[in-house]
Amino acid sequence: MADRDADARNLIRTRLAQSREELRSILYPPPGEYGEGHVPGNGRGGFPRSRTMQMLMSSRGLGTLGALAGGLLIARPVLALRLLRLVPVSAVAKMLMAKAVGALKSKSRDGA
């Protein structure tokens, strides 16, 4: 009986170790996997790494989030304001300022 339990535990530990290794290979790919000079993500030091966050941080994703926020504000203003209190204002303001400065720089390069 104890021998079967020990065998079952060893089998479970082996499976756990294998699944951990698979997760590590997915979450932390080796540096050379993307080729020379290519940084995973959108080229800004690898952040954001997940495809979902990359999509949300793109211009189309931000437009979609803005439309959802506007719809929520129209449909349920109290809930929208409660959720707005949870958003870190300083981080959002920094992101918006960076986007605005980037847009101004790109316009000056195109116009000059």
Number of domains in the chain: 2
Examine residue 44 and state whether it is found in any structural domain, yes or no.
no
- Which tokens sit at 22? 């698979």
- Separation of alpha carbons 9 and 15, rounded Å: 10
Query: Do 34 and 56 sit in the same domain of this protein?
Result: no
Q: What pLDDT does 4 receive?
A: 87
Query: Do 67 and 31 sit in the same domain of this protein?
Result: no
pLDDT digits (tens, 9 = 90+) for 4-57: 899 999 999 999 999 999 888 887 777 665 544 444 444 545 667 778 777 777
How confident is the prediction for the chain on average, in pLDDT?
A: 79
Q: What pLDDT does 15 receive?
A: 95
Query: Do 64 and 9 sit in the same domain of this protein?
Result: no
- Separation of alpha carbons 74 and 72, rounded Å: 5
Examine residue 19 and state whether it is found in any structural domain, yes or no.
yes
Determine the residue type at 74: I
Residue of higher predicted confidence among 87 and 18: 18
Question: Could you tell me the residue range of the domain that residue 60 belongs to?
Answer: 51-112
**Residue 64, pLDDT above cutoff 90:** no
Examine residue 45 and state whether it is found in any structural domain, yes or no.
no
Query: Do 71 and 104 sit in the same domain of this protein?
Result: yes
Query: Do 15 and 59 sit in the same domain of this protein?
Result: no
Indicate the angle between helix axes 77-86 and 59-75, nearest 10 degrees. 130
Query: Do 30 and 70 sit in the same domain of this protein?
Result: no
Examine residue 43 and state whether it is found in any structural domain, yes or no.
no
Q: Name the pTM for this structure.
A: 0.38
